[in-house]
Structure 1
Amino acid sequence: MKPKRELKFSQDHVWIDHIDNNKYQLGITDFAQDLLGDIVFVDIQLNEPILSNRSLGTIESVKTASDIVSPANIKVIGLNPLVEKSPEVINDSPYETWICEITLDSDCDIENLLSYDQYSELIKE
């Protein structure tokens, strides 16, 4: 996995990592997994267009359930089989454990997403 400093972050505690061409991996941040607690289930909408700031699925822990908010206009093209089988791995290594693979809409710009340093400042507040 790329160093955290190379990932892009949303204010909704989601990270994306550029894989190739228009393909990215998406996961949740350490801050998010810590707030959730022990993750037990992840449900993601596959192969449907999802608008920015809309739910692309839910993540459930023993404490609560939460929406995973899309950082851009995307389409989920694949799910991480490890997360489907053992979602608790997200708690162990949130930056190494991607939840789904996505593509971005052709007119989508991810430059508005945060750098690691910007995201770190956001969660300090």
Structure 2
Amino acid sequence: MASFVSSAASAVGRVVTKVASVAGKVLSTVASVGEKVIKTVKAVWPVVKPWVAKFSVLLNGIPYVGPYLAKAAQVLLALDRSPILKKIGEIAERVLPKAKALGEALTKWADI
């Protein structure tokens, strides 16, 4: 009986360690990608925004897909002015580095 309990506890420990390792790697990767996306959007959007504004009206002239593209451009411009989106961006910039650190800590714990 003691051998069975010991084996079961060891198996549970291995499963928990593997789950922590995978969760840590996923969390670190998602946080890293999120940070890169935010950094890229912050760099690219100011350059692209004037062109989106300029061509959003002209897109209506494209047959079939033009109105949809024009609407998408208008949505992008509206999102740029959204206070909710700005707040979400600020929160993401604060939370993502912490999530990355937590993921790395989980991965290191699982490796130990």
Same topology, TM > 0.5: no
Normalized per residue, which structure has more strand? 1
Q: What is the TM-score of this pair, normalised by structure 2?
A: 0.22
Q: What is the TM-score of this pair, normalised by structure 1?
A: 0.21
Q: Which has the higher contact order (CA 8 A, sep 6+)?
A: 2
